[in-house]
Amino acid sequence: MNRFEYVRPNTIPEAVAAASAPGAVFLAGGTNLLDLMKGGVTRPARVVDLTRIPDLGRIEPLPDGGTRIGALVRNSDLAYDAFFAKTYPAVSEALLSGASAQLRNVATTAGNLLQRTRCPYFYDIASACNKREPGSGCDAMGGETRTHAVLGWSEHCIATHPSDLSVALVALDAVVEIHGRSGRREVPLETFYRAPGDSPDRETVLEPGELVVAVRLPSAAAGFADHSRYLKVRDRTSYAFAVVSAVASLRIEGNRIAEGRLALGGVASKPWRARAAEELLHSQEPGEALFQRVANAALAEAKPTDGAAFKIELARRVIKRVLRTAMAGTPGQSPALPASVFTVVQGSLSHA
């Protein structure tokens, strides 16, 4: 490991100032950053530890009916918060399907959203990777691409984003609160992430020194609580990243879907909001024919490499299944295997 400077600021302005230096990174839970440092993938000149800054670890209901999640809120604390789990069940389910219990006890909200890809070529410092070293090339192109993107990728990068939490939050129109040298600003989570284009090393809109301080869910997000589910297909039932995942959040009026939200994970360099597919759900009676049209629309622009071609049909099937489970209603308690295709959900609706 390379030598680096370690700083522990006590305020947000101090943290922003400390991180504005070249080569500086923020440290929260460290569940991703420390691995990257140990493997030589990331070699920061300065590590800015955020854990002494007060008020970044709070879950706050807002006067307008929304919810504010501090950047340092632990994944397990958020998933098991009774109010939060009841109001945003798919977000809780997504959190509980990620990593292990031990990691969820340490990992933070902002850290989860900002974690780096698990592309093996990114982690192998002997491989060419434009994310790790801009302009070096992408050895994944023409290599083993089973876990790689089928949507939104470029010839410079075909890696996928690993976060489960971000997929559920994007579907609910979450907003990111950012503090930097120029003050405070807000960015919708959907546009917070950048497509790889010709600069895949720029994964978000954050400028040097900018700090994510919170994520906010709008009041409308609570309206999907009765019919909101997350589904994750992975190589093993726990402690594995998504091959394909999907969240469906529906608002039902009578026998029709008044409004639907749909987002995918494991298929792109960022959480993928399927807006064109969502439009097909509005004011429609649910059924297999509708769900098939929605699934087809969500993957209409898919462009796979040879190794990832199977993901297109898999994603279609995941979408249809998550729509069916969302229609059936949010269960009264979290499934024993959150977000797993092997879960058999029983019990009444959480808001019945």
Question: Is 102's pLDDT higher than 60?
Answer: yes
Specify which residues 49 forms β-bridges with.
27
pTM listed for this prediction: 0.96
Q: Which two tokens stand for residue 236?
A: 């093993």
Token pair 């309206």 is found at 223
Architecture of domain 224-328: 2-Layer Sandwich (3.30)
Per residue in 37-80, pLDDT (tens digit) is 999 999 999 999 999 999 999 999 999 999 999 999 999 999 99
Task: Give the CATH fold of the 59-114+163-220 domain.
Answer: 3.30.465
Contacts of 172 (CB under 8 A, 6+ apart): 88, 90, 91, 217, 218, 221, 224, 249, 261
What percentage of residues in the chain have a pLDDT greater than 90? 94
Q: Is the dihedral of CA 276, 280, 286, 287 positive or negative?
A: negative
Question: Is 350's pLDDT higher than 60?
Answer: no
Question: Is 348's pLDDT higher than 60?
Answer: no
Q: How far apart are CA 146 and CA 104, in angstroms?
A: 26
Q: Return mean pLDDT, the chain.
A: 96
Question: Is 1's pLDDT higher than 90?
Answer: no
Average pLDDT over residues 1-13: 94
Per residue in 155-165, pLDDT (tens digit) is 999 999 999 99
| pLDDT on residue 345 | 60
Name the residue among 56, 37, 57, 60 with its Cα closest to residue 47.
Answer: 37
Q: How far apart are CA 246 and CA 12, in angstroms?
A: 34
Per residue in 118-173, pLDDT (tens digit) is 999 999 999 999 999 999 999 999 999 999 999 999 999 999 999 999 999 999 99
Q: SS in 3 state form for 313-343?
A: HHHHHHHHHHHHHHHHCCECCCCCCCCECCC
Looking at residue 351, its amino acid is: H
Q: How far apart are CA 288 and CA 305, in angstroms?
A: 29
| pLDDT on residue 352 | 35
Per residue in 192-236, pLDDT (tens digit) is 999 999 999 999 999 999 999 999 999 999 999 999 999 999 999
Domain boundaries, the chain: 5-48, 59-114+163-220, 224-328
Q: Which two tokens stand for residue 163?
A: 């976060």
Per residue in 182-195, pLDDT (tens digit) is 999 999 999 999 99
Q: How far apart are CA 100 and CA 15, in angstroms?
A: 29
DSSP-derived pairing of the beta strands 24-27 and 46-49: parallel
Q: How far apart are CA 58 and CA 332, in angstroms?
A: 25
H helices of the chain, where?
Answer: 12-19, 33-38, 75-80, 82-87, 89-96, 101-104, 109-113, 120-123, 165-171, 189-192, 275-279, 288-298, 310-328
| pLDDT on residue 344 | 74
Q: Which two tokens stand for residue 138?
A: 């992408």
Q: What band does 269 get if pLDDT is binned at 50, 70 and 90?
A: very high
Question: Is 282's pLDDT higher than 60?
Answer: yes
The total of other beta-carbon atoms located within 10 Å of residue 4's CB is: 15
Q: Kindly tell me the burial class for residue 70, based on how many C-beta atoms sit within 10 Å of its own C-beta (0-12, 13-18, 19 or more).
A: buried
| pLDDT on residue 333 | 85
CA-CA-CA-CA dihedral for 328, 69, 279, 264, to nearest 10: -80
